[in-house]
Every structure is written in C-alpha cells, then in structure tokens.
Amino acid sequence: MSFTHKHILGIEQLAKEDIKLILDTADAFKEVNSREIKKVPTLRGKTIINAFFEASTRTRLSFEIAGKRLSADTVNISGSTSSVVKGETLEDTAKNIEAMSPDIIVIRHGHSGSPHYLAERVGCSVINAGDGTHEHPSQALLDLMTMREHKGSIEGLEVAIVGDIAHSRVVRSNIYALSKMGARVRLCGPGTMLPIGIERLGNVEVCTDMREAIKDADVVMMLRIQMERQSNIMIPSLREYARFYGLNPTNLLLAKPDAIVMHPGPMNRGVEISSVVADGVQNVILDQVENGVAVRMALLYLVSGVESMQTK
C-alpha cells in the first residue's frame, strides 16, 4: 500500500496500515545509522525547515540528523532567535518561510493546533514535532518501534503510562497509536493530573493507584513532571509525588519480569523515575532515542513522496 498523507499532524489521522508502513520503513532506515558512511541520497535537493518555537534538544537534533542522513538540507529556526520575539504572527512567519520554497516544515509550538493551522496555509508538507498539550506523533511512533523491537508485536500489549497525563502530548499520541495497533493502555497519575474523559480517546483504563496500573504490565512508560507547564501546582510536593508515582525497583517488581521501562525524556531523576531503574537492565530509554532518528527519516521520506507527486 502507498502512503497518502502529505502532512503528519497527529496519529489521530493515521490508519493502522499507515502506522505499520511507517514502522517498517523506519526499520529499513535504521540500518543506515549503523553504517560507516551514514548518508543516503534519498532526499537530495529537498529543503527541510525545523521551526522550533519551544525548547527541545532531542526532537530537534533527531529531525535534523534524520534530514541530513537523507541528504536533505536542514535549516533550524528557534523561537527565541526568530522574528517571533519582534511580534510577528505565526502565519506571517510561515508565509515568509514558504517564500523561500522549502519542501517540509517541521514545527514544534507551545499552542495546540499550530501545525494544523499552518498546514492549511502553506503549500509544503508540515510535520508536527509537538504542539502544546495535543500531539507528538513522531514520539509515539518511536515508542511503538521500540516496543515492537523488544516485544515482537504491539497487539495485546499492556502498556502503563504514569505521570502528568493532563499536560502530556506524548500520552495523547500514544493512546491513539497503541489503541489502533491493538494494545491496551492504562493511564495513571494523581487525580489533578488526569483529565476527565481521556478514556474516550481509545482503548484506555484510568486509575490513580500506581501499583494497580503497573501490575503485570508489559511496558511501563513514565512521564516527566513538566515544571514549565505548572505541573508543580497540581501536586503537594515533588517528594510526595516521587513516593506515590515514582518508579523504583520495588514497584517495578509488580510489572511482568520482562517488562520494559520507557521515558520520553528529559528525565527528572529521583522524581518520576529512580536512577536505579533509569539505568537498570529493563530500561530501553536510549533505544527510544536511537529509533527516533529512524522514525523521523521514515516520516520525512514518506511525506516527501506524496509532496513531490502532487507538485509534479
């Protein structure tokens, strides 16, 4: 089957077959990253703009490396050094970027829906690299790739996601992706961090007791307490949070013995995850980062095909 999505705005819009194709393509691209010459000419002559209006190390670096390994020209702009600080609107910034005819804009923005707004107003492809508290599709895809690698298949997996569910775009993308691929999701966090009705997004169960959430889970995914989004006002103290919702060697024993531990990063060691677990044998956190490059190569490649077919 062929890929038909010009934009990657969220997992919500993707079908199960699309997700499978992206993961298979990423598997193939992963081999390039282990070569001595880590570059293929696939996207020669394409220009990719990484417009990051919000802080990011991993995702921006990952998209940039992915583009470069496919021989595309990647250019970065960040919020603090762009005309945004002079008061330019997102639409004007986008129009100006578009006037320089890029092929793909990768956007991260603090406001949910910004990539969708952009996609309606520019001619090139748009890839969402995280919008507010809405979606972070490439993160969910690299999570699925890592689960598939370690567990063989995603179907039937019990995935516990613990932490600040309310502020997490990673959670929303993962709920869509995991539900579509046939896994079950258990969400867990303090009541203040669990939005009402989130279970309607997919195959989801919600609970506030962490022990219940991770019991016999195949995958335990810990989320970061997001200081920059005022997570701290929703909990009495970080110490108390760590005690009830932190992953440590003791409560990890409740999960299946071969369960894997994931974290989208950046980690707050000693808060949501103890260092012993973060560096333990069950952690696959750096595999996630490694797979991130392959997944983003797959996304850039697949949307490029659709984009160039349409402009031709």
Partner 1 sequence: MAKAETIILDKAGIDRAITRVAHEILEYNKGCVDLALIGIRTGGDHLASLLQSRINKIEEIEVPLGAVDITMYRDDLAARGSKPIGKTEIPFPLDGKHVVLVDDVLYTGRTIRSAMDALMDFGRPSTIQLAVLIDRGHRELPIRSDYVGRNVPTAREEDVVVVFDENQNPVEVKLVKP
Catalytic residues: 58-59, 86, 108, 136
**H or E, element range at 52:** strand 47-52
Interface with partner 1, residue 32, by CB under 8 A: yes
By the 8 A CB rule, do 225 and 269 touch? no
| Contact residue for partner 1 among 13, 33, 42, 232 (CB under 8 A) | 42
Closer to partner 1 by Cβ: residue 39 or 239: 39
| Contact residue for partner 1 among 16, 39, 121, 243 (CB under 8 A) | 39
CA atoms of 82 and 62, how far apart (whole Å): 21
Q: Give min distance, CB of 309 to partner 1, in A.
A: 5
| Contact residue for partner 1 among 8, 9, 10, 29 (CB under 8 A) | 29
CA atoms of 176 and 185, how far apart (whole Å): 10
User: Chain centroid to CA 221: how far?
Assistant: 12
Query: What does the CA dihedral 241, 243, 246, 250 come to, rounded to 10 degrees?
Result: -170
Q: Report helix, strand and coil shares of the chain as percent, to nearest 5.
A: 45, 15, 40
Binding mask 61-100 for partner 1 (x = CB under 8 A): ---------x------------------------------
Instruction: Give the Å distances, CA to CA, from 136 to 33, 167, 309.
Output: 23, 12, 26
Interface with partner 1, residue 228, by CB under 8 A: no
Interface with partner 1, residue 40, by CB under 8 A: yes
Which residues contact partner 1 (rule: CB under 8 A)?
A: 2-3, 21, 24-25, 27-29, 31-32, 35-37, 39-43, 70, 301-302, 304-306, 308-309, 311-312
